[in-house]
Amino acid sequence: MSEQSKAELLERMKELAAKLADQQSKAELLEQIKELAEELADQKPEPLKFRVGKKGGVSVYGLGRFPVTLYYQQWIRLLEHADELKAFLEENKGKLRMRPKE
């Protein structure tokens, strides 16, 4: 299967759902949806990209829909507390909402 963006795969899933309303074979549609879901699961996450914005902030792209932007001092402060953040995340893992692996 060719690699496609998640948006394209999700759009194809929506199209398949619309076809279900048009009386297409339910078994056929379920098989196609299963194939698309497997293709989506097999995709590797996008690599992180870093950019400096016009105002001097550093933006990280690839974590989610929108970039995460902080200024130099904020990034340094955050990185100085990386071990604390990791420990906090592990301690609260049961309370946190997990997104499916991308």
Reduced to 3 states, what is the DSSP secondary structure of residue 96? Answer: coil
Res 86 pLDDT > 70:
yes
pLDDT, residue 60, reads 97
Q: Which candidate, 57, 62, 89, places its Cα nearest to that of 75?
A: 57
Are 31 and 13 in contact by the 8 Å Cβ rule? The answer is no
Give residue limits of the domains in the chain.
6-42, 49-91
Q: What is the pLDDT of residues 14-62, one digit of tens each?
A: 887 777 666 567 777 788 888 888 877 777 777 999 999 999 999 999 9
In the three-class reduction of DSSP (H, G, I as helix; E, B as strand; rest coil), residue 39 is classed as helix
* SS3 (DSSP) at 61: strand
SS (H, E, C) the chain: CCCCCHHHHHHHHHHHHHHHHCCCCHHHHHHHHHHHHHHHHHCCCCCCEEEECCCCCEEEECCCCCCEEECHHHHHHHHHCHHHHHHHHHHCCCCCCCCCCC
Q: Which whole number is the average pLDDT over 4-19?
A: 78
- Output the pLDDT for position 98: 83
